[in-house]
Structure 1
Amino acid sequence: MRRRDFIYLTGIGTGALMMPSLTGFGKEIDPLQALESVDVKIKKELADVALNAAKSNGASYADVRIGRYLNQFVVTRENKVLNVANTESYGIGIRVIANGCWGFAATNDVTKEGMAKTALRAVAVAKANAKIGSAPVQLAPQKGYGEVSWKTPLEKNAFEVPIKEKVDLLLNANGVAMAGGANFVNSTMFAVNEQKYFASTDGSYIDQDIHRLYPSFNVTKIDPTAGGFETRRSLSSPVGMGYEYMDPLASEKVLGITTRYKKRYDILEDIKYATQQAGDKLKAKSVEPGKYDLVLDPSHLWLTIHESVGHPTELDRVLGYEANYAGTSFLTLDKWKTGKFNFGSKNVNVVGDKTQVGSLGAVGYDDEGVKCKKWDIIKDGILVNYQAIRDQAHIIGLTESQGCCYAQSWQDVQFQRMPNVSLQPGKTPLSVDDMIKNVEKGVYIIGDGSFSIDQQRYNFQFGGQLFYEIKEGKIAGMLNDVAYQANTQEFWNSCTQVCDERDYRLGGAFNDGKGQPSQSSAVSHGSSTALFKGVNVINTKRKIG
């Protein structure tokens, strides 16, 4: 288990101690309260009070976010329920520009008086900042959309599903693992509903209802003779969907080494395979270090994309504004300005996309009221763009924002966050089996594992969940203790094939951290299985004594 997952899951299991740092958790509520909503007319009246107060006190621009953040999680271990909680956080965040500088203030006093007072505080902050500011804020133009709304496409609202049904599902999954010989197993179900209202002096009044779901488990088997143990985590992906994601009858899956989940997820089948594979890992041979061709499944590759493509193309990292939390970026503006910087091979086409249905980052409008879109970041291996928001757009010659501004809650200021960043499928028909047939010496890697990457997002090392040796075009058995090392440019230039769209799947992170004070966001990364030639593989087995 990765350190961050251990901390995350342990925190959930002991009372959700980590939860407030993730997505604006607040007070405990009755589950039925989560099904209530706030009248959009009331939100508009409140927003107008704040906008008018800001303008009348010297703001040249103002936006208001009224946010109601609902979270539900169920945590189990073996045959026990460790925790069930429903929380709500409700309040407003007001951002303004006055005298050319930003100001921000927030409150949970969601009344007209509270809105007006908070708007005045935001203006006061902006005017104070202006006394020490340098260049004034330059916002990319943004038309107002009037009164519009957007909702995550849902078949089944997770908050409407009885908690007993979720508990029963998780305990049944744990039972499958224990029956298969697991020594330990825990499972969780985490649901999020962000009810967000945005209004600005540009003339937008945007009401959004955003849903996300994350089922997961961890299975452990112990070898009492050797004193070792192995784990296998779920291959589920956190998604921007409702509870329909848990419908096994609608799963699209291919049985083989593992189960590949595309649009739906069968937790009972996944945990059955996981229990067997945890045992297989105990008996798997340790990898011989050397150069291998790597066949990387989307359940693994999403994390490599996230760390080596997603983060280094965030414009604030490129500019050095974001340095203390996970570093800056080697993809400096001079590389982009040439229009010729070779990031990867011609097979590498990466897009930013806030519109992909079912993804964690899918919304209609970002937290600056910009309609979301899709754009090229890497085209035929060449760096062509970054991820930018309204006050960054002019720096790279854009006339509009790319719509990737986000705040984790009403009480946090919005800033540039990663959109869904995805490797596009190959255009030539190619299956995973066909790809493997042409590999003489390789490793097939499934699932994400521990990783390390430097502060420039350049030199890295990645592990995984499952590793299979490939010999002369065939799977030759399971391996263990595998990690690969490369630098970002070398690695993506070694990409020689990407399977077609039939294999395209999403992975993602529910808790991607950034900023000071730190904020967390949810983001997906899609890809099809891809082949990387001649990558350096190391053996990670600990030597004792």
Structure 2
Amino acid sequence: MKRRNFIYLSGVGAGAIMLPNLPAFGTPIDPLQSLEQVDARIKKELADVALNTAKSKGATYADVRIGRYLNQAVVTRETRVLNVANAESYGVGIRVIVNGCWGFAATNNVTKDGMAKTAERAVAVAKANSKIGGTPVQLAEQKGYGEVTWKTPIEKNAFEIPIKEKVDLLMSVNGAALAGGANFVNSTILAINEQKYFASTDGSYIDQDIHRLYPNFSVTKIDSAKGAFETRGSLSSPVGMGYEYLIPSESEKVQGIVTRYKNRYDMLEDVKNATKNAAEKVASKSVEPGKYDLVLDPSHLWLTIHESVAHPTELDRVLGYEANYAGTSFLSLDKLKSGTFKFGSPNMNVMADKNQKGSLGAVGYDDEGVKPKEWDIVKDGVLTNFQAIRDQAHMIGLKESQGCCYAQTWADVQFQRMPNVSLRPGKTPLSVDDMIKKVEKGIYIIGDGSFSIDQQRYNFQFGGKLFYEIKDGKIVGMLNDVAYQATNQEFWNSLTAVCDERDYRLGGAFNDGKGQPGQSNAVSHGSSTALFKGVNVINTKRRIG
């Protein structure tokens, strides 16, 4: 057994669990060798075989996705390296329309013969589907772009950084936590590279090189005398960036109770703060339930946006097509068509896009060969749009797709996935300190935590990582056992103020699930710190007896 195979096989048990996009865990790889991409001319030749075969067998439309997915996880705990996992998945997915019905097939036999046979199989699937009947597929018009390329604008390719350098960083992080009094600490660096080639009968041949990175840790502090412990996770955000994300600059600092960075991340500084925070949480007082004004940091608010705004505005959930994985939506086509449905207060302005630099969703073209765009979902508190792809656009009166189609690998069929969905910053100059000064009785919440939301995305509960009590415009100490509850409209109509663009930051999910069979998507959500008035806060402390 080769050494790199041994490293992979010994690490895949835990490391691969943390990585999305791994059909059957892929195969072990040499990361540097796999960065040598397949020549675009070869991929075009292969794609043309599939497209021509599909058309000759009766397809009125066909697209081909040749994908190479590289995944890496470096996983540590205290003074040990638990896993180093490198994996590769390579293959092709072919989608066709025949007799007004979709057909899809995939293979890892990326040869001309494999392409032809797989295209034939996709056509056969579509013909079988057409016997069931139903409304024919209506694809929004899409011009072909010819031969184009796009790459995540990275400065340092994470796969080119030696494993030793990553291990050294994580060992330094763990060491800082232990030196600060932590009882347990684990840390990881996850990296993904999607090398994707898309071709369609519309005339597009699109070659993309997409990178994502997620460094994170968790610190635990035990108080033996109390028989209690507390944990604080990292305040990092998964990003669509290279390894430069882990090289912070002083100019990137956002000053506050804990130091954060807008587009970079200082893992060592964060773990030192986290160790202190975990000890403070053990000693902090438990919250008194009641109504509070909530000052929500972007590191927390991203998850509330994700669950209560982004998911409910996915058109397939609205229509009830998506129901088994996390439910449908309290929204409806009638609410959109009315043009008057009050989702939130006039301070609520939510936009969607897949263009924002550094975001997880950033691509040059989606998995239907559509250039992403930006559009309003909620404007001045009123619902204005949903999220739709080519075969959904006509359902809400759109002439073109919004460019939010995605498949987690070549082996999966592409379908509607949320783009980056973000709360726009306020237009009036407002800092976090100025916002806090206006609060008489409130809680400042930093970081995401546990959450619960019903099957129509209407009633919900959210926790967090850090909670600070605000009295008469000042932070007076740390709280614990905090969660807030609300209905969707009640919560968003309590939005009173949003800090300006100076405070705007991204959070996000590295592996957001949807569909059946389930698929994973990476998505960011941006916001500035926001103030919500009179929200119901509960105490989550477990009581025995």
Q: TM-score range by the shorter chain?
A: over 0.9
Alignment-mate amino acid for residue 45 of structure 2: E
- Whole-angstrom distance in 1 between the partners of 2:17 and 2:113: 33
AA matched with 1:195: Q
Inter-CA distance 138–182: structure 2 relative to 1 (3 Å threshold): same
Aligned residue type for 2:274: A
Which amino acid in the other structure matches residue 305 of structure 1? I
Indicate the SS of the match to 1:230: strand
Q: Residue 39 of structure 2 aligns with which residue?
A: 39
User: Partners of 1:491 and 1:146 in 2: how far apart?
Assistant: 46
| Other-structure match for 1:120 | 120
Equivalents in 1 of 2:53, 2:275: separation in Å?
60
What letter matches 2:350 in structure 1?
V
The 1:226/1:13 distance shift into structure 2, 3 A limit, reads: farther
Kindly indicate whether the alpha-carbon contact (under 8 Å) linking 2:98 and 2:127 is maintained by their aligned counterparts in 1.
Answer: yes
Q: Provide the secondary structure at the position in 1 that maps to 2:468.
A: strand
| TM-superposition CA deviations, 1:390-429 (whole Å, max 9, x none) | 0000000000000000000000000000000000000000
Corresponding residue for residue 368 of structure 2: 368
Partner of 2:334: 334
Q: Please say if residues 183 and 221 of structure 2, whose CA atoms lie closer than 8 Å, have aligned partners that are also in contact.
A: yes
Question: For residues 434-489 of structure 1, what are the alpha-carbon distances to aligned partners after superposition, in whole Å with 9 as ceiling and x for unaligned?
Answer: 00000000000000000000000000000000000000000010000000000110
Residue 504 of structure 1 is matched in structure 2 by 504
- Could you tell me how far 1:62 is from its partner in structure 2? 0.1
Count of residue pairs the alignment pairs up: 535
Structural mapping, 1:80-479, within 5 Å? 80-249=80-249, 252-479=252-479
Secondary structure of 1:430 counterpart = coil
Percent identity over the alignment is: 80
1:5 corresponding residue in structure 2: none
State the 1:31 CA deviation.
2.4
Q: Read off the aligned partner of 2:438 and give its amino acid letter.
A: N
Change (3 A) 1:254 1:177: same
Counterpart residue number, 1:15: 14
Change (3 A) 1:155 1:20: closer
Task: Specify the alignment match of 1:60 in structure 2.
Answer: 60
Contact 2:458 2:488 in 1 (8 A): yes
CA–CA separation in structure 2 for the residues paired with 1:511 and 1:23: 12
Distance 1:456 1:525 in 2: 21
- Distance in 1, Cα, partners of 2:480 & 2:22: 35
SS at match of 1:71: strand
User: Any idea what the Cα deviations from partners look like across 1:222-264, whole Å, max 9, x if unmatched?
Assistant: 0101111100000000000000000023561134311122110
Q: Which residue of 2 aligns with 1:49?
A: 49
Q: What amino acid is aligned across from residue 161 of structure 1 in structure 2?
A: I
Whether the 8 Å CA contact 1:68–1:194 is kept in 2: the answer is yes
2:238 partner amino acid: P
| Alignment gaps of 5+ in structure 1 | 1-10
Matched residue SS, 2:52: helix
Deviation at 1:13, TM superposition (A): 8.4
Aligned-partner Cα distance in 2 for 1:15–1:468: 35
Cα deviation digits, residues 252-289 of structure 1 (max 9, x gap): 11343111221100000000000000000000000000
Distance, in Å, in 1 between the alignment partners of 2:19 and 2:238 is 19
Question: What is the TM-score normalised by the length of structure 2?
Answer: 0.97
Q: What pairs up with 1:476-487 in 2 under 5 angstroms?
A: 476-487=476-487
For residue 531 of structure 2, what is the aligned residue in structure 1? 531
Distance (whole Å) between structure 1 residues aligned to residue 34 and residue 172 of structure 2: 26
Contact between 2:421 and 2:525, CA under 8 Å: does it hold in 1?
yes
Structure 2 residue runs of 5 or longer lacking an equivalent are 1-9
Post-superposition shift, 1:41? 0.3
Distance in 2, matches of 1:526 and 1:106, equals 35
Find the aligned partners of 2:430 and 2:233 in 1 and give their Cα distance. Answer: 28
Q: Deviations over 1:482-511 (max 9, x none)?
A: 000001101000000000000000000001
Alpha-carbon spacing, 1:335–1:464, altered in 2? closer, same or farther (3 Å): same
Cα distance change of structure 1 residues 19 and 57 upon mapping to structure 2, 3 Å threshold? farther
SS in 1 for 2:448: strand
CA distance in 2, matches of 1:519, 1:250: 38
Amino acid across the alignment from 2:527 = S
